[in-house]
Amino acid sequence: MINRTNESDPRTIHAQAIKYCATEKSAFNNIITLYSKSHSNLHLCLSYAHRVFHYQIPKPTVASWTSLISAFAGTPSSLTHFAAMLRHPALPSQRTLAVLFKTCAHIGAFSFGLQLHAIAAKLSVATQPFSGSSLVSFYSKSGFFGDARKAFDEMPDWDQVSFASLIVGLSQNSRPIDALSCFANMVGFNVRSTAYSLSGTVSAAARIMGLEQCRMLHCHSVVTGLDQDLIVGTSLIDGYGKCGLVSDAREVFDELLPCMNVVGWNAMMAGYAQQGDSMLVLSLLRLMKVRGLVPDEYSFLAVLTSLANAGLVDETGKWLSKMKVDYGVEPEIEHYACFVGALAGCGRLQDAEKVVTTMPFEPNAALWRLLLTACATHGAVDMAHTIRNKLASLHPDDETWNILANNGRFEEVAEMSKTTEDRMVKKVGGKSWVEYQGKAHVFLAGDQTHPRKNEIYRMLAELITKSENLGYRTAPHTNSGEIKETEKSEGVHYHSLKLALAFAVVSGAAVAPSKPIRIMKNLRICKECHESFKFFCRVLDREIIVRDVNRYHRFVYGRCSCGDYW
């Protein structure tokens, strides 16, 4: 009998195993696992595990090999030990392959993973629960969702792990609708939710800013007893934050505060950052330190984002330096992007360009695109042309003319459009959508596909007329709701955001007067829509919340929470 009273040091149990279980392979298999899970010197413990395998297990079984491979999981050594295993009589089990698939996904060894799949198929274990679920996860994390779905469909029985692997894979591969549908199927098959399947589904709902879905999933977490799980709680904080309900996110955060980890703190800070609430973000950062938690790069990304969204340029620059000097966290390109965005947003374009060209990273397309947007906003046409050329060298198909079009630079737009047409590039348009009765109603500019289009255009015409009576001026429109070809070509009258708002009004998407109208947009809100929504919120006497690609805009009493800085 092995005494486990001193499990903090696995060498003690190892000594007892030598004394009492010298011939039992299972005992030494467990010793290998114990060393791999030790919290002491991991490198030393892994060397002990390796010595146990080679010197105290003369004829290792598949269980012994699996213990050794699992001990080195997530490292190339795991694959090396598997190659050595193939030179011995023992064949891998589904548990062995499950560990190896996870390792391949972790270290990016896709080719090796394909060979493992072939071995699994040859041994008829590719569709078994452990190996099959890991195979789904491997293909999903490698970006091959079609293969992941095929591996899932080939499994004869689906369990909690296989569904969780597929749901997480769908969510991570930007397939949120499919992830939500898969979760519904899982519930329909009476398969119990796990923390991973539920958190993956909440992440999918957050990606489309589906408030109704987040609330239903929150209720589901309470019913299933998963609401106190940190993984689920963090996903809910992130989901509510991305839906703009930071008060709901804070309630979840406060409930889990005693055991909340850094990831959860970062999610809460990110929710405030999207609102530009730098005071609360900095308050949370200070509270983190009081509770003994060490902020990481994501913590400071939230800080910089909040300062940049609030237009606090100098403070953004100070914290960019402070995170390195005072906290020892090296800034990444995303941190520099916050500073560049803050500088560019207030018109300091030369300073922003200097940061881009002198930072210790090669500028990516996102940074040049950010600068180009600022150039269009501030009318810096010459700089815009220079930056456009740099952006084109990285992404020839980038649709830069839309940025200038939203700011009235139509000559430059025509020139850029011609250049793009010569390259046979397909344009990607902006989309806006409203969630209504669990369904996302998506609109494009000048959209004529919605079954209630006549009501929508009449309502929009009415909103524009009433806004003009309050002092807003826009180009001519038709009260009948029909679009003239000249108006359709100009595009500004019937932007997707305005159509989504009109639909929200005629459909009753937010019936209660106390509830805000919520609209999502896949691009940055344009100047025209931003100005018109100040009047629309007065006409409707309703709060309107717009979530664009960068941040939240809360329109109320004729003003926007961003202070016209975005």
pLDDT digits (tens, 9 = 90+) for 516-557: 888 988 888 888 899 999 999 999 998 898 988 778 888 998
User: Do 437 and 548 reside in the same domain of the chain?
Assistant: yes
User: Do 440 and 400 reside in the same domain of the chain?
Assistant: no
User: Do 443 and 363 reside in the same domain of the chain?
Assistant: no
Least confident window among 11-15, 220-224, 404-408, 560-564: 404-408
User: Do 469 and 365 reside in the same domain of the chain?
Assistant: no
pLDDT at 89: 78
- For 145-168, what is each residue's pLDDT tens digit? 889 989 999 998 898 999 999 999
204 within some domain: no
- Tell me the C-alpha to C-alpha distance, in Å, between residue 35 and each of 1, 7, 18, 26, 82: 19, 10, 15, 14, 19
pLDDT at 290: 92
DSSP single-letter state for residue 481: -
User: Do 451 and 537 reside in the same domain of the chain?
Assistant: yes
Tell me which residue range forms the domain holding 402.
Answer: 352-407
β-pairing, 517-521 vs 544-547, is parallel
What whole-number distance in Å separates Cα of residue 448 and Cα of residue 494?
Answer: 11
Q: Is a pLDDT exceeding 70 seen at residue 34?
A: no
Confidence of residue 321 (pLDDT cuts 50, 70, 90): very high
Structure tokens at 428: 């990607």
User: Do 392 and 501 reside in the same domain of the chain?
Assistant: no
- Greatest alpha-carbon pair distance for the chain in Å reads 93
DSSP single-letter state for residue 526: P
Confidence of residue 16 (pLDDT cuts 50, 70, 90): low
Least confident window among 76-85, 225-234, 314-323, 503-512: 503-512
440 within some domain: yes
542 within some domain: yes
User: Do 373 and 458 reside in the same domain of the chain?
Assistant: no
Across 252-264, average pLDDT: 93
Q: Torsion angle of alpha carbons 136, 140, 143, 146, nearest 10°?
A: 60
What whole-number distance in Å separates Cα of residue 381 and Cα of residue 506?
Answer: 40
User: Do 540 and 447 reside in the same domain of the chain?
Assistant: yes
pLDDT at 412: 45
User: Do 514 and 399 reside in the same domain of the chain?
Assistant: no
Structure tokens at 322: 């402070």
316 within some domain: no
What whole-number distance in Å separates Cα of residue 344 and Cα of residue 560?
Answer: 20
What whole-number distance in Å separates Cα of residue 445 and Cα of residue 490?
Answer: 10
160 within some domain: no
pLDDT at 72: 82
**CB neighbours of residue 56 within 10 Å:** 18
User: Do 435 and 521 reside in the same domain of the chain?
Assistant: yes
Between 373 and 229, residue with greater pLDDT:
229
Least confident window among 82-96, 106-120, 170-184, 408-422: 408-422
305 within some domain: no
483 within some domain: no
- For 187-231, what is each residue's pLDDT tens digit? 999 999 999 999 999 999 988 888 888 999 999 999 999 999 999
User: Do 435 and 548 reside in the same domain of the chain?
Assistant: yes
The number of folded domains in the chain is 2
**CB neighbours of residue 487 within 10 Å:** 17
439 within some domain: yes
Residue among 148, 159, 150 nearest 189 (CA): 159
User: Do 464 and 402 reside in the same domain of the chain?
Assistant: no
Across 501-525, average pLDDT: 81
